[in-house]
Amino acid sequence: MKSKKGTIFHWIGIAVIFALGFAVLSPTEFGVKPKGDWQLSFLQYNYVEGEKQLADTDQLALQIGRKTVLSLASKGGFSETPSCGSIGGVNNWNKGQDFCFLNVDGNVNTEFNSIYKKYDKEAASFTVSRQGKELIGKSDTKVSLGSGMEQYVLNSGFRANLGYDFDEYFLLQDQAKKMVNECKSAPQLQDCLEKVKPAYWKFGSCDNEQFEEKAGKIIFCIESPGKYAVFEKGTFVPVKYKVGLDFGMN
């Protein structure tokens, strides 16, 4: 009778071949995993994608912000017609002795969101504030990237440097108040204004200055005292304010 004690080794051999076959064909990953693999994937597919979206949002906000600057300037800083009324589509800053309160922050916020909605009707509303020459937008909407354990959530806000300071409105309103106070009872309104108004305040139009009075009301085009210009359609457009002042004391 032949001894079968050695057959165990043959079975081991067969088992090893099966094990190797399983290791090669199995979808399970064997072996060591390099350090930082998960972290790199997370950075690549979540953080970098998030930064790209923020860069895009910032750029769109910058373009909208520039349009906001020009649009508000053409309306004397008011997003809607003020209670002081308007002359020929130009908003008045005062009605007799009373100046209409120019809420710069509120108007910037309203105008920015109004223009933004024109381009993207489904866009979230932003709460826009100013910090020097920058516009900062905050929204309740969150951007969520990834899924499950690998989730990256960020605020969909923006920060855009307009290279323009809305505080110019305060300087111009102070100058307007001074002009109205000094010239309201002047017999020769034009002569008085010529003496009082700064050179960047132009009668009627910035390109073709012409004095024109209608019942004590005068339209001004004001060149930006800080010589601000915003980048629009591939060129720098100078900021020009259109404002109506009422010198009639009725």
Partner 1 sequence: MDDFTDLLSFALIIFMLGFFTVWIFHTDTADKSDQALGKLDSFHGQEDLLQLISAPAVLENKNVQMKDVILSAVNSNNADLFSQKMQEYFDQQALEGGIAVYDSVAYGAEEEPEPLFSFDNVAFLGKEKGAVYLTNINSDGKLKSIVVKLFG
Tokens of 8: 């165990």
8 A C-beta contact, residue 180 and residue 245: yes
Contact 166, 185 (CB under 8 A): no
Told to check if 43 binds partner 1 by CB under 8 A, we report yes
> Binding residue for partner 1 (CB under 8 A) from 21, 22, 55, 238?
55
> Residue holding tokens 């020769």?
188
Binding of partner 1 at residue 120 (CB under 8 A)? yes
Q: Does 187 bind partner 1 (CB under 8 A)?
A: no
CB of 219 closer than 8 Å to CB of 87 = yes
Query: What residue type is assigned to position 15 of the chain?
Result: A
- Min CB(9)–partner 1 separation in Å: 5
* Residue closer to partner 1 (CB basis): 192 or 237: 237
Whether the CB-CB separation of 108 and 135 falls below 8 Å is answered with: yes
- Minimum distance from residue 164 beta carbon to partner 1 (Å): 11
Nearer to partner 1, 126 or 220 (CB): 126
Binder among 40, 153, 171, 249 for partner 1 (CB under 8 A): 40
Taking contact as CB under 8 A, which single stretch among the options 3-11, 136-144, 151-159, 183-191 is the one that binds partner 1? Answer: 3-11
- As separate numbers, helices (DSSP H) first and strands (DSSP E) second, the chain gives 6, 15
| 226 touches partner 1 (CB under 8 A) | no
From candidates 182, 229, 237, 248, binder to partner 1 by CB under 8 A: 229
Q: How far apart are CA 68 and CA 55, in angstroms?
A: 20
184-192: long-range contacts (C-beta < 8 A, 24 or more apart)? 184/97, 184/247, 184/249, 185/249, 189/213, 189/216, 189/218, 189/247
| Nearest-approach distance from CB 81 to partner 1, in angstroms | 24
- Name the nearest CA neighbour of 167 among 216, 92, 123, 225: 225
CA distance 62 to 71: 14
* One of 59, 97, 151, 155 touching partner 1 (CB under 8 A): 59
Can you give the binding site for partner 1, defined by CB under 8 A? 3, 5-6, 9-10, 12-13, 16, 20, 23, 30-37, 40-41, 43-44, 48, 51-52, 55-56, 59-60, 62-64, 67, 119-120, 163, 229, 231, 233-236
